[in-house]
Structure formats: structure tokens, C-alpha cells
Copies of this chain bind each other. A is one copy, B any other.
Amino acid sequence: MPATNTSAPTLAVSAEQRSAIESLMVDYVHAIDEGEYERWPMFFTEDGHYQVTGRENHARGWEAGMLLCDNRDMMIDRIYSLRKVNVWEPHTYRHIIGPTRVLECSLDGACIVVKAQTNFMCVRTMHDGEQMLFSTGRYLDDIVFEAGDGGDLPMFRSRLVITDSNRIDSVLVIPL
């Protein structure tokens, strides 16, 4: 009996789409890790959804998460506050992501929607050089391909960050 693939994509994902999704994943973490926070909202569609939640809350279907942005404007506001207020002790993130697993690919109107999952590990470095394993978990994403200048660009319509621990720092200033 072969390993049953419980998550066969309903539509085939092309090699070009897969490669574009991989670029999206790596661009996203590099933007955050390099402190280019203003780029962060641009990885989402205008009505994009971003949420951080704990593994157990997610398993119980509790949608009340630690952090929620319901559209791109909220994300832009969030980054604006982050730059403006600046009361937090300076720190940076470093994400390592594993390979992305496509769970499903379907049509929503004329729009291709790819559901995908990616493991991550995030290390936080404080200004004084102290480092800690900050968070681990997985991204559960709805990715859509929207027409752009250079062809179809993938963006997050929804990015759910499911952290393994609920003990995450409540002052989650930088997006995960």
C-alpha cells in the first residue's frame, strides 16, 4: 500500500506557478528579516487576511487569534505604527522555511487559488545580540494569481500563521 496522498491537488499546479509560489514564500521572509516592513502588506491582495493563532486554538476552531489584519490597509497601518511608535526594544527576525506543500488548487471564478502549507522557524535577535528561538509553526495559505505587469503574480489572499506554542510574546510587533 503506497503512502496515501490525502491532499491531492484538484487542479494541476504548473512548474511556473510552483516556482512563482516558491519565490513568494522566500521574498516574504527576506523582506521581514531585512527589515523592509513596508513591503509586507504588498504580498497580500487588497482584501487579504493575515492572522496569527496558536496551534491548539486553531485545532479547536477558535478563530480568535493573537493578531489579525482583515485587509491590506490594516497591514499598512500596522507597519506605520511599528515605525512611528517605536517603544519596543529593537530586534530583528530570521525565518527559515521548509519546502512548500501544495494541498489543493482550485478555480474561484476566473481566479486560481492554491492552498499551501509551509513549516517555519523564527529566531529573534535583540539589539544587544541576544538570540532566542522565537517561534515555530506553519503557514497555511490561500494564494491567488492576479494579473500584473510581468504576467500573473501570486499573492496571499489569506495567510494563517499557526504557532506551535501559545506562549508567544504578546507584544508581537513584527509580522511573522
Residues of A whose CB lies within 8 Å of any CB of B are: 1-6, 8, 22-27, 29-30, 33, 39, 42-43, 46, 55, 92, 94-101, 117, 119-121, 123, 125, 128-131, 133, 136-138, 146, 148-150, 153, 155, 164-167
Contact = CB atoms under 8 A, between A and B. Distances in A.
Number of copies: 3
Contacts of A101: 23, 26-27, 30
Nearest to A149: B2
A130 B164 contact: no
Contact of A98 (B3, B26, B43, B123): B26
Nearest to A35: B59
14 contacts: A1-B46, A3-B39, A3-B153, A8-B150, A22-B99, A23-B101, A30-B101, A30-B117, A30-B119, A30-B138, A55-B125, A96-B97, A125-B164, A130-B167
Interface centre among A3, A29, A94, A166 (most CB of B within 10 A): A3
B92 A95 contact: no
Contact of A119 (B33, B55, B119, B164): B33
